[in-house]
A and B are shown apart, each in its own frame.
Chain A
């Protein structure tokens, strides 16, 4: 029962019952009566799960599908016959043939009182809140017909707003103490920044020693924001500055869009999850007034070339030159993961790929190569990046990200904030005609696109490395170039790819770096994929202990569950089903593209011919496309 790798106590673990194929198989089943409706469920199912099965709606606030049971908000109370008090449906495992009433007079009154009590401490006006019309508390108030404040209403702010972080802001006045953020931070991500502090009416969610969020070990993943039922947690919104730049005739405002926001932004406009809006978004962005719209996937392709070359170089140094190099190589695309490593495993910083994330690579290119080509002074360029991510805001503000001579990326904008800007411009996104990205970076390959899903970076890298090394087409090895073993939402994936005895010629692009592939004959490429920092932690502990992951060559880490498509800037709500649909949208778009391998992208080849003429991992590419990291450690001063 007790898993040594888990920090949270057993009592805080998810109380999940896997439903057996046949109800009589394990533990047996039990027939209960909900509102006089009979339903048979496996023993141990909670009343909430049983009600969902039976199609009976029960309101929830502290309950979240991704998190363990808390039972603290009590909004889901139901009447259980024979019980003296009302019971929380989310935390009541069924072990006997009980009779449940979910909407009796007592229940409705209790829920209304619970809501009234929450509202009596909830300071803030709905119409000035980022979560207006997408707030679970607001929805419940409407659902239960709250038309006044039975227990009064706070008129004064009790807590200051914490705006110290580049990414995540906290407004404790709007907090209802559901502890979803606490469970997200401690249990789901195992970062451990937020906890409830104090007791009684002084209880509030805070950090270690009530410090500012910027001063603690927050990795800015924003998963707490995605799970907050109210507007107590939100991202640092730069849209006002961006509007000002758009209005300014002297400024040339360019925007790059990442694949995950495109797969999810439709949700903000009332569409079902799983609609890719790439073409529509391009048109909308131009109508808003952005001068150029670029595709981050282009620099994702560039990342694959740079990071892949770096991996080949590291392997060459280790196997042929017998040098001491840090292996396995870790991906560095996820800024949340990078900061996690800097804090918790600073001794492994040399394992991180020195390649920048696609966002920052593009930023550096825009203010150098693009500025030169378009004849624009880079100081007049305002570079915006639409990302599914709150940590990208921190990343673009890192002091070392100024390799172009200016701030490489000026603003990181989340999917939610962009949707707000589009609405503000009076545009209904789904009605937009489709259009293409702007040159000189043009369209990107499918390999860059699938960066958005967990396993995507690995798949993209494999598509390229396989062709580089074996000389065969990826399609000959993997059907339709779909590297299925690295796909899927399993927490940790471990895959081995035997290279075999047949190697091809070294491609022109990296010929100056490695003479031949003979040293890779018969070798096996070992890779792993992890998403969510809790899973990353498991791999890191295994590497520390010298386990099987320490023998890997390349490991992809993503800070957020599901990869970028589950990022902290994505539309709310989130759950596994929604993330799965977004992934399907991304993979479907990948299949529809003609070019699906980074090194086949003609614009990438052009870039190496025209600008980065010394090839990948050369002096210029190191200056613009690579970076270094800081050993932060987890001690909070």
Chain B
């Protein structure tokens, strides 16, 4: 990270700490904001958060590693999460996945070459009645077919 970037990051975290308060419970809110803006939480940011909240950096990392929606390395611009629960599986998840992999050109757990998409599995999205389901960023799509999934992804920028 460049020094300028570091300073900008520190200022950003300082503002967030100001906004949410200096107690431990603000940690998750701050992490969410950083994740939203930068699509990942770099190790420098983790240490700055730890310093400003007066906790240990490893505790921040522990929290990040616990949550699937927080990550320390940048992923693709759009994150596609396909539900891997049994219901979705029975409703033809595999065919949908194959179609998605072919369309995007990378496997699940990977990021596409143009960094536009990152594919991963999610545990039950809670939409078993209208399965198979997937979430693209924060929006969910249901009753998927291979064609429908490809169509949805093509509309994503």
Contact = CB atoms under 8 A, between A and B. Distances in A.
B113 interface: no
B62 A196 contact: yes
Contacts of B46: 208-209
A83 B125 CA distance: 33
Contacts, number: 45
B134 to A, nearest CB: 22
A127 interface: no
A7 B58 contact: no
Contact of B61 (A186, A191, A208): A208
Interface in B37-81: 43, 46-47, 54-59, 61-62, 65-67, 72
A283 interface: no
B145 to A, nearest CB: 31
Contact of A7 (B56, B65, B67): B56
A192 B65 contact: no
Contacts of A216: 58
Contact of A193 (B55, B58, B72): B58
B102 interface: no
A461 B76 CA distance: 62
B157 interface: no
B24 interface: yes
Interface residues of A, number: 18
Contacts of B65: 197-199
A636 B56 contact: no
B77 to A, nearest CB: 24
Nearest to A196: B62
Contacts of B61: 195, 197, 208-209
Interface residues on B, range: 10 to 19
A195 B55 contact: no
The secondary-structure label for the interface of chain B is: helix
A207 interface: yes
A264 to B, nearest CB: 30
Interface in A1-31: 7, 9
Contacts of B55: 7, 192
Contacts of A209: 43, 46, 61, 72
Given A9-B24, A636-B43, A198 B57 contact: no
Pick from A186, A209, A216 the residue with the most CB of B within 10 Å.
A209
B54 A7 contact: yes
B66 A195 contact: no
Interface of A: 7, 9, 186, 191-199, 207-209, 216, 635-636
Interface of B: 24, 43, 46-47, 54-59, 61-62, 65-67, 72
23 contacts: A7-B54, A7-B56, A9-B24, A186-B59, A192-B55, A192-B56, A192-B57, A192-B58, A192-B59, A193-B56, A194-B58, A195-B56, A195-B59, A197-B65, A198-B65, A198-B66, A199-B65, A199-B66, A208-B46, A208-B57, A208-B61, A216-B58, A635-B47
